[in-house]
Amino acid sequence: MFIINENRATRRLYNEDIVDEPVEFASTGTAQVSRDVGEAMIAYYDDIRRKE
C-alpha cells in the first residue's frame, strides 16, 4: 500500500515496534509499505495517511 506523510520535512521514519527497517519517503512524501506496516503507521502517527 502507499502512504503519504504530510510532514514533508520527514524523509525517514523508524519505529522498532512497527518496522524492521526505516521507511523512506520520496520528495512527494509518499512511501510504499506492506499493508500491516501502513495501517500501523496510520494509527500511530497523525501526519501519515493512506494515499488514494
Domain that holds residue 41: 2-50
Residue 28: the pLDDT is 93
Torsion, CA 1, CA 8, CA 49, CA 52, rounded to 10:
-60
Residue 8: the pLDDT is 86
Residue 15: the pLDDT is 94
pLDDT-based confidence at 52, cuts 50/70/90?
confident
State pLDDT tens for residues 1-43.
Answer: 999 999 989 999 999 999 999 999 999 999 999 999 999 999 9
The sign of the torsion formed by the CA atoms of 25, 9, 41, 48 equals negative
- Put simply, whether the predicted model's pTM sits higher than 0.75 gets the answer yes
Q: How many structural domains are present in the chain? A: 1
